């Protein structure tokens, strides 16, 4: 009798465990389907807006990708809450494969600094190399554009180490002419010897304010976090700009704004002093979307207006002479 009861109990326990296993397996399947559904429906738009990467499963049609771009622009675009964008978005919904309506919606949400472009063409762009020269006691740093696919570490090292190679320098010139922007992390790190520690710039978005911070020769909060070496150099700094100085180059200009013993020369900038995110899509296109204004340490905010220099370039030599005692 005891053996029979024991056998019965064991059989019931086995059946119970089998049922639990089946139920648990069923829950796993349901959870997996729920995750897939969430990624499918939310990944294209919320992935781009919140995680910096759009997750698109199965359906990668032009309509779906275009819709994901416009949805992302609605969530995080600097003007995504504007009436102009709402009108553009409604027009886009009528014909989601219309390229002109897509461009109009992205422009309305992000302004003139936003665009849709071909990812492979971006990779093919050949940017100039940075350089630092030293003559008559003056350091001259040529700071060109830098793409997100370029060697940012080498870029930063060239500038930072070049600027600190001559501690006897009496002044430094930072030449941002022709620099239409790119990855600001290496750019800031390369110029970090000339900049004080702390907040160099802030981004003001619909979500709040975030800071770009310099700590020695390290930069975080803007572009690719980058660390180089060389230390600091305290000298008067002249910054040169022209009408092609744009985007991250304007951010580099603003890092010097409000500092003592700094003067800017040349021409007004291009007027793209704002922060972007770049999202790559599986069809070979990328979305560059403006999400924030640039805010200088002075408290001034910039976005689409050119930044005027303190003086024309013709006054540069006399200013340098006054700083170098010649």
Q: What is the DSSP string of 12-64?
A: HHHHHHHHHHHHHHHHHHHHHHHHHHHHHHHIIIIIIIIISS----S---HHH
Kindly state the percentage of the chain with pLDDT values over 90.
76
pLDDT tens track for 34-58: 433 334 444 444 445 555 566 665 5
Confidence class of residue 183 from pLDDT cuts 50, 70 and 90?
Answer: very high
pTM of the shown model: 0.82
Helix-strand-coil split of the chain, %, nearest 5? 45, 20, 35
Q: Which of 13-22, 33-42, 276-285 has the weakest average pLDDT?
A: 33-42
Confidence class of residue 217 from pLDDT cuts 50, 70 and 90?
Answer: very high
131-274+288-324: CATH class: alpha beta
pLDDT at residue number 22: 53
Separation CA 325–CA 222 (nearest Å): 37
Residue ranges of E strands in the chain = 115-118, 131-135, 138-142, 171-175, 198-205, 208-215, 218-220, 226-227, 237-241, 262-266, 274-280, 285-295, 301-302
Of residues 263 and 29, more confidently modeled: 263
The closest of 228, 214, 210 to 259, measured between CA atoms, is 214
Confidence class of residue 124 from pLDDT cuts 50, 70 and 90?
Answer: confident
Confidence class of residue 122 from pLDDT cuts 50, 70 and 90?
Answer: confident
Of residues 32 and 163, more confidently modeled: 163
CB 139 within 8 A of CB 110: no
The closest of 229, 226, 254 to 239, measured between CA atoms, is 254
Q: Which of 44-53, 103-112, 204-213, 308-317 has the weakest average pLDDT?
A: 44-53
Confidence class of residue 16 from pLDDT cuts 50, 70 and 90?
Answer: low
Average pLDDT, the chain: 87
Separation CA 8–CA 85 (nearest Å): 70
pLDDT at residue number 123: 79
Reduced to 3 states (helix: H, G, I; strand: E, B; else coil), residue 219 is strand
Which residues of the chain does CATH 3.90.226.10 include?
131-274+288-324
Separation CA 58–CA 65 (nearest Å): 12
pLDDT at residue number 148: 87
Residue 33 has pLDDT above 70, yes or no: no
Reduced to 3 states (helix: H, G, I; strand: E, B; else coil), residue 189 is helix
pLDDT tens track for 286-320: 999 999 999 999 999 999 999 999 999 999 999 99
Residue 133 has phi, psi (to 5 degrees) of: -115, 160
Residue 63 has pLDDT above 60, yes or no: yes
């Amino acid at each position: 009798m005891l053996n029979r009861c024991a056998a019965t109990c064991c059989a019931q326990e086995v059946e119970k465990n089998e049922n639990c296993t089946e139920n648990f397996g069923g829950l796993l399947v349901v959870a997996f389907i729920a995750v897939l559904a969430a990624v499918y429906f939310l990944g294209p738009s919320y992935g781009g807006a919140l995680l910096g990467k759009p997750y698109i499963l199965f359906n990668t049609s032009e309509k779906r990708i275009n819709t994901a771009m416009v949805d992302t622009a609605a969530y995080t675009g600097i003007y995504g809450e504007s009436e102009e964008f709402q009108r553009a978005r409604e027009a886009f919904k009528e014909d989601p494969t219309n390229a002109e309506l897509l461009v109009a919606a992205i422009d309305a949400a992000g302004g003139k600094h936003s665009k849709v472009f071909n990812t492979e063409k971006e990779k093919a762009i050949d940017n100039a190399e940075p350089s630092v020269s030293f003559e008559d006691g003056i350091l001259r740093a040529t700071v060109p554009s830098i793409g997100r696919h370029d060697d940012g570490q080498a870029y930063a090292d060239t500038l930072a180490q070049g600027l600190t190679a001559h501690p006897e320098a009496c002044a430094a010139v930072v030449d941002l002419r022709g620099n239409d922007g790119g990855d600001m992390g290496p750019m800031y790190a390369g110029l970090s010897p000339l900049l004080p520690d702390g907040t160099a710039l802030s981004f003001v978005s619909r979500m709040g304010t975030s800071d770009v911070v310099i700590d020695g020769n390290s930069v975080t909060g803007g572009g690719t976090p980058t660390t180089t070496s060389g230390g600091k150099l305290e000298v008067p700094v002249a910054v040169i700009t022209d009408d092609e100085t744009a985007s991250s180059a304007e951010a580099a200009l603003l890092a010097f704004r409000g500092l003592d013993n700094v003067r800017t020369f040349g021409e007004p900038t291009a007027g793209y002093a704002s922060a972007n995110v770049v999202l790559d899509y599986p069809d070979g296109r990328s979305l560059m979307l403006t999400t924030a204004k640039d805010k200088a340490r002075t408290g001034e905010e910039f976005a689409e207006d050119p930044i005027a220099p303190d003086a024309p370039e013709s006054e540069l030599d006399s200013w340098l002479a006054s700083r170098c005692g010649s």
